[in-house]
Structure 1
Amino acid sequence: MFDTMTFTKIVGSFCGALLIFLLGKWAADTLYHVGGKHGEEVAVYVIDTGEDDEVVEEVVEEVNFDTLLETADASAGERQWGKCRACHKLEAGENGVGPYLYGVVGRDVGAIDGFNYSGALSEAADVWTVENLYRFLEDPRGWAPGTSMGFAGLSKSDDRANLIAYLATFAD
């Protein structure tokens, strides 16, 4: 029933149908494609509102650190500590992948002997003040470019304050 000629006809008709389909797709893309690179959204109608001429300035968040720490919850910071626990330890003298964080609030940056810090941290600050920790926890690579810490940061202000309050409980 199936000989070589029948099988060749079936494969040939399948290839022909595929070729017609691909040519149809190419023709449709050519006809209906609106400028720009493939996949890029292009505005077809531009309405001038005059807002493009104005310079929009970013609003820098002013944080009162005294008020922030007064309202911070150390028990909520313990939940945030779970993100740090993989690399850091809270016991004095026990380094993990990162340095131990016992007494980190108010400690000199790079003060742990025997830990190989990246030079970016010492260039960014001298002491781990509440403000420095707050900014570092927000965006470690943005605050200290070149740091070897691979943490993405904590986006919520309350989470950072709670974590700092929790870390402050571990000190002499």
Structure 2
Amino acid sequence: MGARRGDTRQRIQQVALELFAERGYEKTSLREVAERLEITRPALYYHFKAKEDILNGIVGDLNSSIDELAEWADAQPPTDEARRAILDRIASLLDDQWRPLIRFAQVNQAVMSEFPAGEEMRHRMMRIVSVLARPGDPPVRQFEARLAVIALILGNAPALLGLDLSDEERAQAAMTVAVRLALGG
């Protein structure tokens, strides 16, 4: 039963995030989330009492995955292979579980700036941006390391790039740029 409840919570979060990105956070009601899921409002309220609770859960999950990735990245040796593996993991998370939240944050910047969990997310994202930078690296190298991760993030933000590319083409281009920056050439 617990796994089923968790699946329902995840479905609610996924659908709510889609609606928040499509319509905007402020313009989306819990009624619309329930309708899209084809569940009753009381069933939705059983899991989440308010939109803020849904968003808190989504951001909390993202923050946990960022922490896990950052801890793993910190334990890697300072080699080109490790840097490439870190970029691969970031790209995989961006392509999978992070993409909807990144797109939501783009569309709902005002909400994220006012939302306490949004500030936490920004701090965590700064940690991810810094995972390739090593203490003692020259300033240019540290800057390149941060830009490598930002390239991957931008690859998942089509509106910011203004390039008419498929998701796959954009992701490939972003990884190519990220690798060049992270590996210094």
What range describes the TM-score normalised by the shorter chain of this pair? under 0.3
Structure number with the higher helix fraction is 2
Higher Rg: 1
